Chain A
Amino acid sequence: MTEFSLLSPIQGQKGVQGIIVANSEGIPIKSTLDNSSTVQYAGLIHQLVMKARSTIRDIDPQNDLTFMRVRSKKNEIMIAPDKDFFLIVIQNPSD
Chain B
Amino acid sequence: MEIVHVYSKLRSEFGRQCLFSDRPAELLLDLPPDPSLTLSFIQKNHRDQAVQACWETSEHQLNTERFETGSCGINHMEGGWPKDINPAEMEQTIRFRKKVEKDESYINSVLQLGSVMEHCIRQNNAVDIYQECFEDEEEVEEIQEPPSAKTVNVFRDPNEIKRTVTSLSWQPDGGRKLAVAYSSLEFQKSSKDMSLDSYIWDIENPNRPEMMLKPASPLVCLDYNPKDSHTLVGGSYNGQIVFWDIRKGNQPVEFSSLEHSHRDPVYKIIWLQSKTGTDAFSASTDGQVLWWDVRKLAEPTERLVLDPSREGNLDQALGAISLEFEPTMPTKFMVGTEQGLVISCNRKAKTPAEKIVCTYDSHHGPIYALQRNPFFPKNFLTVGDWTARIWSEDIKESSIMWTKYQMSYLTDACWSPVRPSVFFTVKMDGVLDVWDILFKQSDPTLSLKVCDKSLYSLSVQDNGCLVACGSQLGEATLLEICSGLSTLQKNEKSLLAAMFERESKREKILEARQREVRLKERSRSEQSREEEVGREEGEEDPKHLIARAESDFYSLVEAEVKRREKKDEVMKEKDICEEKDVKDEEQRGTSE
A29 sits at the interface (CB 8 A): yes
Bound Cα distance from A69 to B121, whole angstroms: 11
Shortest C-beta distance, A17 to chain B (Å), equals 11
Shortest C-beta distance, B323 to chain A (Å), equals 42
- B490: A residues at CB distance < 8 A: none
Contact between B80 and A87, CB atoms less than 8 A apart:
no
Among A29, A43, A80, the residue within 8 A (CB) of B97 is A29
- A15: B residues at CB distance < 8 A: 121, 124-125
Among A29, A86, A87, the residue within 8 A (CB) of B100 is A29
A60-95 interface with B by 8 A CB criterion: 66-67, 69, 71, 76, 78, 80, 82-87, 89, 91, 93-95
B296-337 interface with A by 8 A CB criterion: none
Shortest C-beta distance, B124 to chain A (Å), equals 5
Among B78, B81, B100, B121, the residue within 8 A (CB) of A89 is B121
Bound Cα distance from A83 to B103, whole angstroms: 14
Contact between B122 and A10, CB atoms less than 8 A apart:
no
Bound Cα distance from A57 to B76, whole angstroms: 26
Contact between B128 and A86, CB atoms less than 8 A apart:
no
Binary per-residue interface labels of chain B (72-92) against chain A in the complex, 1 for a CB within 8 Å, 0 otherwise: 000111111110000000000
- A95: B residues at CB distance < 8 A: 125, 127-128
Bound Cα distance from A27 to B130, whole angstroms: 32
- B113: A residues at CB distance < 8 A: 80, 82, 85-87
Contact between A7 and B124, CB atoms less than 8 A apart:
no
B93-150 interface with A by 8 A CB criterion: 96-97, 100-101, 105-107, 109-114, 116-118, 120-122, 124-125, 127-128, 130
Number of A-B contacts (CB under 8 A): 92
Contact between B114 and A16, CB atoms less than 8 A apart:
no
A53 sits at the interface (CB 8 A): no
Among A7, A25, A76, A93, the residue within 8 A (CB) of B110 is A7
Bound Cα distance from A87 to B113, whole angstroms: 7
Given contacts A6-B110, A30-B97, contact A25 B118 (CB under 8 A): no
Bound Cα distance from A59 to B78, whole angstroms: 32
- A55: B residues at CB distance < 8 A: none
Contact between A13 and B122, CB atoms less than 8 A apart:
yes
Contact between A13 and B106, CB atoms less than 8 A apart:
no
A44 sits at the interface (CB 8 A): yes
Bound Cα distance from A44 to B106, whole angstroms: 21
- A82: B residues at CB distance < 8 A: 109, 112-113
Bound Cα distance from A41 to B105, whole angstroms: 23
Given contacts A7-B110, A89-B117, contact A29 B101 (CB under 8 A): yes
Contact between A80 and B100, CB atoms less than 8 A apart:
no
Contact between B124 and A23, CB atoms less than 8 A apart:
no
Bound Cα distance from A25 to B81, whole angstroms: 8
Q: Which residue of A lies closest to B108 (CB)?
A: A82
Bound Cα distance from A94 to B128, whole angstroms: 9
Q: Which residue of B lies closest to A40 (CB)?
A: B76
Given contacts A71-B130, A87-B114, A87-B117, contact A2 B107 (CB under 8 A): yes
Q: Which residue of A lies closest to B124 (CB)?
A: A93
Contact between A78 and B121, CB atoms less than 8 A apart:
yes
Given contacts A6-B114, A14-B125, A85-B113, contact A69 B120 (CB under 8 A): yes
Contact between A21 and B110, CB atoms less than 8 A apart:
yes
Bound Cα distance from A39 to B583, whole angstroms: 123
Binary per-residue interface labels of chain A (1-35) against chain B in the complex, 1 for a CB within 8 Å, 0 otherwise: 01100110110011110000101011101100000
- B101: A residues at CB distance < 8 A: 2-3, 29-30
- A66: B residues at CB distance < 8 A: 116
Shortest C-beta distance, A42 to chain B (Å), equals 8
- A43: B residues at CB distance < 8 A: 76-80
Q: Which residue of A lies closest to B111 (CB)?
A: A6
Among B96, B109, B118, B130, the residue within 8 A (CB) of A10 is B118
Contact between A80 and B116, CB atoms less than 8 A apart:
yes
Contact between A84 and B109, CB atoms less than 8 A apart:
yes
Shortest C-beta distance, A60 to chain B (Å), equals 21
Contact between B121 and A16, CB atoms less than 8 A apart:
yes
Contact between A44 and B121, CB atoms less than 8 A apart:
no
Q: Which residue of A lies closest to B97 (CB)?
A: A29
- B118: A residues at CB distance < 8 A: 9-10, 13
Shortest C-beta distance, A72 to chain B (Å), equals 11
Shortest C-beta distance, A55 to chain B (Å), equals 20
Contact between A13 and B125, CB atoms less than 8 A apart:
yes
Shortest C-beta distance, A52 to chain B (Å), equals 16
B335-355 interface with A by 8 A CB criterion: none
Shortest C-beta distance, B35 to chain A (Å), equals 74
Contact between A10 and B124, CB atoms less than 8 A apart:
no
Bound Cα distance from A6 to B146, whole angstroms: 61
Contact between A39 and B76, CB atoms less than 8 A apart:
yes
Bound Cα distance from A34 to B239, whole angstroms: 59
- B121: A residues at CB distance < 8 A: 10, 13, 15-16, 78, 89, 91
Q: Which residue of B lies closest to A45 (CB)?
A: B76
Binary per-residue interface labels of chain B (200-242) against chain A in the complex, 1 for a CB within 8 Å, 0 otherwise: 0000000000000000000000000000000000000000000
- B110: A residues at CB distance < 8 A: 3, 6-7, 21, 85, 87
Shortest C-beta distance, A6 to chain B (Å), equals 5
- B100: A residues at CB distance < 8 A: 23, 29
B6-36 interface with A by 8 A CB criterion: none
Contact between B106 and A29, CB atoms less than 8 A apart:
yes
Q: Which residue of B lies closest to A21 (CB)?
A: B110
- A27: B residues at CB distance < 8 A: 80-81, 96
Contact between A93 and B128, CB atoms less than 8 A apart:
yes
B225-261 interface with A by 8 A CB criterion: none
Give the interface of A toward B (CB within 8 A): 2-3, 6-7, 9-10, 13-16, 21, 23, 25-27, 29-30, 39-40, 43-44, 46, 66-67, 69, 71, 76, 78, 80, 82-87, 89, 91, 93-95
Q: What are 10 of the A-B contact pairs (CB < 8 Å)?
A: A3-B101, A14-B125, A29-B100, A67-B120, A80-B113, A82-B113, A83-B109, A85-B109, A87-B113, A95-B128
A-B pairs with the 4 shortest C-beta distances? A43-B76, A25-B80, A87-B113, A80-B113
